[in-house]
Amino acid sequence: MTADLLVVEDDPTLRELLAASLRFAGFAVSATASGVEALRIAAERSPDLVVLDVMLPDVDGFEVLRRLRVGAAPGRDVPVLFLTARDAGEDKVAGLTAGGDDYVTKPFRLEELIARIRAILRRTNGSPREVLTAGDLELDPVARLVTRSGEPVPLSPTEFTLLRFLLENTDRVLTREQILHHVWRYDFGGDASIVESYISYLRRKVDNREPKLIHTVRGVGYVLRAPR
């Protein structure tokens, strides 16, 4: 099945290049220069992934992402890859903290961008598996739904993938390198602080009560332990 992408880029030359290149790579593509128009298209078409510039003429990319997340049903957040000239470290952290799934700075290589898009799609559209549980925490890969004590917990696509990886390895200590490679598809040499940030997000959303499930193993990584 062809993945449906939405490209949001205000530079007309780059927007046309991206749309043509992604179509050539086998994707269905919609493209716009407007954040407001992007929100309308996303509501109508439910794209599989959004390639989103930060600096837009009407609504900045971070606000577009916030509105996408607010309007999404639990477990149905569309993955977002930021594509921007803002290459400062704090901008990348801001993009990922806002809920972005990856952050690519301009100038970029088309081959790398396409590889990152495919990596995000692989990890957010994995093969169906049985419901994963640890105590009162449940993750349904088919419905893409997470609950704790029966209450739905909205997660971004990357948070969902990270939690799924932890649950699939319950009681096994995972190194930061293993998590970085599995969730972000980076060989180590990537920014391990991304792992720490997303573990923190998960703790606030799914591990904010007793018994605690996600534990830090100092100097090594993290483990999700089922309550005894």
Phi, psi of 65 (to 5 degrees): -60, -45
The overall pTM is greater than 0.75? no
C-alpha closest to that of 157 among 72, 42, 59: 72
Please name the helix (run of DSSP H) or strand (run of DSSP E) that holds residue 125, with its range, or none.
none
Kindly report, as residue ranges, where domains of CATH 1.10.10.10 are found in the chain: 132-224
Q: What's the topology of domain 132-224?
A: Arc Repressor Mutant, subunit A (1.10.10)
pLDDT mean by block of 10 residues, the chain; 228 residues:
88 95 92 95 90 92 88 66 76 74 87 89 65 90 85 91 93 91 68 87 93 94 91
pLDDT recorded at residue 126: 53
Do residues 62 and 98 touch, judged by C-beta distance below 8 A?
Answer: yes
pLDDT recorded at residue 74: 46
Kindly report, as residue ranges, where domains of CATH 3.40.50.2300 are found in the chain: 4-125
Rounded to whole angstroms, the Cα distance separating 127 from 84 reads 31
pLDDT recorded at residue 128: 44
Q: What's the topology of domain 4-125?
A: Rossmann fold (3.40.50)
Place of tokens 């993009």: 95
